[in-house]
Amino acid sequence: MKQTQHLENLIEIRSIMEHSSRFISLSGLSGVLAGIFALIGATVAFWYFNYEFYTPELFNQIFDYKGYPLPDFLIFLFADAGLVFVFSLFFAIVLTTRKAKKSGHEIWSKAVKQMLVALIIPVVTGGIFCVVLLFYGAIFLIAPATLIFYGLALLNASKYTLNDIKYLGIIEILLGLTACFIPGYSLLIWAIGFGVFHVLYGIIMYYKYEKQ
């Protein structure tokens, strides 16, 4: 009887320590919505690129004779990517905050701050690197780079939140590396990584941690 009580106490202590050191209120539904927004953004990009990628005709369409990106292309690129990011971030904050309040967890805890720092550093680094790639005309590496750096960010942040996101991070890295070798399909692979796998991840997380 005493052994059973001790075991229960140890389990409770472990649960308390995990709650204090990890942010476990990430919303699975926010992952689903992020994936949907990514698929919409990728579809718009496919339409803009006339359903082709990394061809001489496309290169002439988005770069001038000196090899610099045309203003129209830059406006489209940042508008498309920016809208996907803003909508995904907005719903991630709203749904995760709602879940944290419902679960009685602190929203702005030490674990949250650590997770954000671990997530932001690789993401910002990757964003700057993608701007450099764009400047030098290496557009075929931009989509793979976003997948790779995002995957690294998830791996880094998994130390402070749900352990499951590290598996999504590994998948994103593998997809990014694959896209480096088949640039003609990099946009499609980007849609699979940020779209399809985000939706699948969100659904799994919802049924695993949220659905009662």
Per-domain residue ranges for the chain? 2-210
Report how far residue 51's alpha carbon sits from residue 38's, in angstroms, rounded to the nearest whole number. Answer: 16
What is the average pLDDT across 107-131?
85
Residues with Cβ < 8 Å from 157, sequence gap 6 or more?
115, 118, 119, 165
Which range, 35-39, 116-120, 131-135, 183-187, has the best average confidence (pLDDT)? Answer: 35-39
CA terminus-to-terminus distance, the chain: 31
Task: Please report which confidence band the pLDDT of residue 20 belongs to, taking 50, 70 and 90 as the band edges.
Answer: very low
Runs of H (alpha helix) within 104-196: 110-135, 142-157, 165-181, 186-190
- Which range, 56-65, 76-85, 106-115, 143-152, is most confident? 143-152
CA 152/CA 97 separation, integer angstroms: 24
Look-up: residue for tokens 């590290």? 166
